[in-house]
Amino acid sequence: MPRTNILARLGPPALFLGAALLAFFWGFGTGPGAPAAAQQAPPAAAAVAPAASGDADEAGGTGEARDEVGEVWLTPVPLPENRAEPRAAEAPKPPADLAPVRAANGLYGYANQAGVLFINPVYEAANPFGEDDAAWVKLDGRYGLLDVEGRWLVEPRLDFVMVADFFPDSLAEAQSPDGGRGFINRSGEWVVEPVYQRTRGFRRGSALAPVQNADSLWGYIDADGDEVIPPRFANARQFDQGGLALVKTAEEAWGFVDLKGEFVIGPKFVDARSFGANGLAAVRLEEGGLFGFIDRAGRLVVEPRFGDVSAPSSHSALSAAADADGLWGFVDRQGEWVIGPKYARLSPFAASGFARFKQEDGTMGLINENGQVVLEPQFDYVGDFTVLGEPVEYTNALSPSGLWGIVNKSGEWVVAPDHSLCLYRLDGLTAVKADDGESWSYLNLAGDSRVPLGYLASRDARPE
C-alpha cells in the first residue's frame, strides 16, 4: 500500500491544496454553513509544515513523555551532532510504515507506528515518503530529498518555498521564493522554470499539465516544459483519461479541447462539469437555466431539467443531481431518477461504494448505490471511507458537539469525538488535532478499538 497522506501535498502557505482536500470536503465542508474545522486548511498530517519554535530545554532529556490520559509519547531525542547523518544509530532497517513525527524539540523525524524512531528529528518540515521511497524535507530553510535510510538523494540546497510530491513522470511542482511556480526533477533541477502564477500538475495518465501565465491565461505544458497548448484560456482543467479537458474562454464560455488544444466540443456552455465514469458531462446552456448531459461527441443526450449537478464520479455510472426545487438524488445515463430527489445535498459515489447525503436539519449519513442507508444521519460531517481514492475501513466524523473522531462502517466511534479535527490516513494512522487548535499527533488503530500505543509525536510532548 502506498505511503501517501491524504494531504501530502499541503504545505505552510497551503499553495498546493489541490483536489485532495477540495474533494475531501466537497459540498459539505466548505462554504457557508460548513463545519468550522472543515473550512480551515489544516496542516497536513505528516505533510510539509513549518515547525513552531520550541523551547531550548525541550530538545533533550530522557524518559518518556505522556499526555494527560497516560498514553506514551516518543522519547525526546537530542539533536545529533552530525546533522548530515540523520539516521538514528540504534534503529534497524526502516520498515514500510515510516511517517513524519514532530518531536519535543519542535522538529520532524520519521518513526513507525509503534513509535520507534528511525530518522532523527532534525528537520523544520517533512513530507511523507511516497511510492518511490523518497520524501522532501526542509533543513536550515532549504529543501532536500531523503530516502528511507535518511540519506540525501538531493542535498538541501534548494531554495524553495514549497515542494510537492513527484508525479509518475518524475516531476514535482515547486514554488520559488518570488512566488513563481514550475516543476523540478529528482535532481532538484528546474525542468519547467518557475514562471507561472499557478500550476495544476500532471494527472496520472496525462502527458499535459495546466499552467497559468503572468497574464492569468491558462495553457498546457508537457513534461519537458514545452507549451504544447499556448496560454489563451480563462480557466483550464486537467485532461481526463480519454484525452479531453474542460476549458473556459475569455468570453466566459466553457468547452472541451483535445491534446492539441483544438475544440472537440465548442465553447457554448455557461457552466459545465468534466466527464465522469458514465461518459457524460453536465452542461448548462444559458444563465439561470437548467443542467442537461452531453456525451463525448457533444450530443445533448439528456435534456436540461436539473437545477444543479455535482462533480462527476470516477466510480459510478450514477450522477448526483438536484431537481428544480433543490432536492438531490441520483440519475442514470438517461437522466431518470434511480434514487429519488429527497436530500438537501449529495456527494458523488466514492470508491467505497458510498455517497454522503445531508438532510434538511444538517445531519449527514451514507447511502449505497441501491439507495439504502448504510450509515444513519447522525453526524455534522462524515467521510466516505476513502482516502486518496482508496477504500478504507474507517473515516473521520464530526459529532453534534462540534468535536471530531473516527468511526467504523457501523457508525461506532473508534476514536472518541473529543478532538478539534481528525484525519484518517491511507496507512492506517489517524492525524489528531488537539483541542488547543494547534498541536497535531498520530494515533494507531487496530481492528475496531483504540490501541494504547497512543500518539507517536506532538510538539507539546514534554519529558517527565
Whole-angstrom distance, CA of residue 100 vs CA of residue 82: 20
Residues above pLDDT 70, as percent of the chain = 67
Average pLDDT over the chain reads: 74
For range 31-51, the mean pLDDT? 32
- The reported pTM is 0.70
The backbone torsions φ and ψ at residue 423, rounded to the nearest 5 degrees and listed phi first, read -130, 115
The residue that leads in pLDDT, 427 or 461, is: 427
Whole-angstrom distance, CA of residue 251 vs CA of residue 233: 9
For range 74-91, the mean pLDDT? 40
pLDDT 10s digits, 173-230: 888 888 899 988 877 888 899 999 999 888 766 789 999 999 999 999 998 889 999 9
Q: How far is CA 404 from the centre of its chain?
A: 18
For range 54-80, the mean pLDDT? 28
For range 449-463, the mean pLDDT? 30
Q: Which residue has the cell 467505497?
A: 352
pLDDT 10s digits, 259-305: 999 999 999 999 999 999 899 999 999 999 999 999 999 999 999 99
pLDDT 10s digits, 89-106: 444 445 556 777 776 677
For range 324-352, the mean pLDDT? 96
Of the pLDDT bands very low, low, confident and very high (cuts 50, 70, 90), residue 439 is low
Of the pLDDT bands very low, low, confident and very high (cuts 50, 70, 90), residue 76 is very low
The residue that leads in pLDDT, 404 or 244, is: 244
pLDDT at 361 over 70: yes
For residue 218, what pLDDT is reported? 98
For residue 307, what pLDDT is reported? 96
Laid out side by side, the sheet with 308-309 consists of: 308-309, 319-322, 328-331, 337-343
Cβ count within 10 A of residue 12: 17
For range 43-71, the mean pLDDT? 26
For residue 286, what pLDDT is reported? 93
For residue 107, what pLDDT is reported? 80
The three-state (H, E, C) secondary structure of the chain, written as one string: CCCCCCCCCCCCCCCCCHHHHHHHCCCCCCCCCCCHHHHCCCCCCCCCCCCCCCCHHHCCCCCCCECCCCCECCCCCCCCCCCCCCECCCCCCCCCCCEEEECCCCCEEEECCCCCEEEEEEECEECCCCCCCEEEEEECCEEEEEECCCCEEEEEEECCCEEEEECCCCCEEEECCCCCEEEECCCCCEEEEEEECEECCCCCCCCCEEEECCCCCEEEECCCCCEEEEEEECEECCCCCCCCEEEECCCCCEEEECCCCCEEEEEEECEECCCCCCCCEEEECCCCCCEEEECCCCCEEEEEEECEECCCCCCCCCEEEECCCCCEEEECCCCCEEEEEEECEECCCCCCCCEEEECCCCCEEEECCCCCEEEEEEECEECCCEECCEECCCEEEECCCCCEEEECCCCCEEEEEEECEEEECCCCEEEEECCCCCCEEEEEEECCEEEEEEECCCCCCCCC
Of the pLDDT bands very low, low, confident and very high (cuts 50, 70, 90), residue 67 is very low
pLDDT at 148 over 50: yes
pLDDT at 27 over 60: no
Give the residue from 190, 282, 274, 280 showing the smallest Cα distance to 239.
Answer: 274
The residue that leads in pLDDT, 164 or 122, is: 122
For residue 4, what pLDDT is reported? 32
Of the pLDDT bands very low, low, confident and very high (cuts 50, 70, 90), residue 47 is very low
pLDDT 10s digits, 225-264: 899 999 999 999 999 989 999 999 999 999 999 999 999 9
For residue 34, what pLDDT is reported? 38
pLDDT at 64 over 60: no
Q: Residue 33 half-sphere exposure, CB side, CA atoms within 13 Å? A: 11
pLDDT at 59 over 80: no
Of the pLDDT bands very low, low, confident and very high (cuts 50, 70, 90), residue 426 is low
For residue 196, what pLDDT is reported? 95
Looking at domain 168-201+204-239+241-272, does it have CATH number 2.40.128? yes
For residue 178, what pLDDT is reported? 87
Whole-angstrom distance, CA of residue 60 vs CA of residue 76: 6
For residue 84, what pLDDT is reported? 42
* Least trusted range by pLDDT, from 32-36, 181-185, 349-353: 32-36
Whole-angstrom distance, CA of residue 272 vs CA of residue 266: 12
Question: What torsion, rounded to 10 degrees, do the Cα atoms 68, 72, 73, 76 define?
Answer: 110
Whole-angstrom distance, CA of residue 444 vs CA of residue 76: 19
pLDDT at 458 over 50: no
pLDDT at 37 over 90: no
In the chain, where the domains are located: 168-201+204-239+241-272
Of the pLDDT bands very low, low, confident and very high (cuts 50, 70, 90), residue 68 is very low
Of the pLDDT bands very low, low, confident and very high (cuts 50, 70, 90), residue 56 is very low
Of the pLDDT bands very low, low, confident and very high (cuts 50, 70, 90), residue 86 is very low
